[in-house]
Structure 1
Amino acid sequence: MKPLPDIQQLLQQLDKLPLQRVQPWLNLLLVILLAWLLARFSWQLVPTPAATALTPAISSAGSKSAGSGVSLPALTGFALFGKASSEPVKAVQPVVTEAPKTQLNVKLTGVVALPADPAKGSAIIESRGSEATYAVDDTIEGTNAVLKQVLADRVLLLQAGRFETLMLDGIEYTKIAQANAGLGRADELVAVEDNGGDLAPVPEPMEMQPLELSEELDIRRDELIAEPMKFFDYIRVSPHRPQGQLLGYRLMPGKDATLFTQLGLQPNDLAIEINGIALTDMQQAMNVINELRDAKEAAIKIERDGEIRDILVSLSQ
């Protein structure tokens, strides 16, 4: 370690410095140092104000939210994207009146057609040797075809993604459904074909007193109007075509024979005339039956055991 230089030598060195040049700078440095010390001393004499505690903005917002009581269930209750209708929109089904004739091995033997709404009708279809009653959207037994619409003279089936026409047995196929206007009550019926024997010789008709509808029959009539498919529970109607010529309609009781019996009918009765109009044309017969809904009485002429009988039924409410 080197010895400290002698103080005398230091003084000698300082004497050699040009003090006249350095002195102005030293004076400036001393002034600056004095000003800084004075300023610091002055700030120490001024009393310091009490510091105000600052509340973070985020904390205030959080407190406000907590006080408002907004909850997630309440938030999700707002209709941010609108409100859905409480009533489902009913799909409008097109009324298809043109479709190719089906090649399915089935037979349409009866219909209950409601032209105002073809999607509410029903049909009796024979498949694989047996008959069954089908409502719209039912699948026909033994096939992949679905019943979609019921018209007065045909039904429309949905088969392999396309509509096909199944004509009422005994009616020739046409592109446009015939005589649909004006039809559409439970009375619009045609049913299974009957190839029975010829009519017996026609004797003089036997007159009968009008049969008044009981209160129970009134109720059943209202039921038929509301639910046309129930007609087949009471009466089965079948065209009678010996040798291919329509001569009338066979009447048979359905599963519930009460209405059939109370109307004065018997199994195998053959209706040949209604209100003076012969039932020898299928389309005309359907129109006549449809008119009964507004008639006050129906005069039905039947053939029973070789005899012609008149059954008068009062239709007034």
Structure 2
Amino acid sequence: MIMPGMNRYQREVAEMDRRHRWLMRTFCVAASSVVVAVFLWAADISPKRWFGDSSETAQSAAVAPAPTASVQPANTNQQSAPDASDPQRLILVSTSPGRTPYEGTARLGPDPAEPQTYVAGAVLANGAELVEIHADRVLLKRGTETATLYVAGGGAGAAAALTSLRAADVPAPSAKRAAYSITNIIRSAPHYENGLMDGLEIFPGKDRGAFAQLGLQSGDVIFAIDGAVANDVLRAREQLSVLAKGEVVTVTIRRGDVVTDLALDGSVIANDRAATPGSPLSAS
């Protein structure tokens, strides 16, 4: 501040001091403004609102939809019943392979806690046949479609439908049973001679009575079916499967040292199924 009585030098020093203080105040104000602007920008606040412009806030409030009351369904803890058309993935729990892939048993089903046991050659509820049983997988076949199901894993192959079941196909726990197939009566295994398959060696299944009624004995070896050599496991089993429909199949068997032709009358099986609909041989 310039005071009366100051000489020229004192007045110049006072003027320089005044200008210095003014510059410092201007710098402090500018620096504070920059800091505030950076803070507001970092807080994602629109520049229009920095100076009290509330038009943007009012516009946002005008277009914001009014809250609507939501209605919660009663019994939210209750799960809806599964649709019968929804497929359920089959889970292979374990296998018990035989001497060849065409023998043994496999435990599988949509519920790993309650699997069903199938023997090689059995037909599942979805129409797929259990063709091969290995230590870590099984092979399913339906018509020309094939799929591989691994232990505690998913299905592989083009036919995903073979590795799943619809809820309607899954039997209730009180009436759970394996789907009917000729393997309930006849179990078979490839028979080899000099390293080559030359027939099917057969054994009784669950229904030993029907096996005996067909005129078969455990250990018989089938060499031909309806005149065709039985040197293909899948084809031979398909030929025998028509017995479940009541058809007649002529086989050439070896029993001990005797080779003979035998007519297997499938009507014996069909009559038993009709007479006892609640038995394992009942129609699916």
Question: Could you state the TM-score of these two structures normalised by the residue count of structure 2?
Answer: 0.40
Q: Which has the higher contact order (CA 8 A, sep 6+)?
A: 1
Question: Could you state the TM-score of these two structures normalised by the residue count of structure 1?
Answer: 0.37
Structure with more strand by fraction:
2
Q: Which has the greater radius of gyration?
A: 1
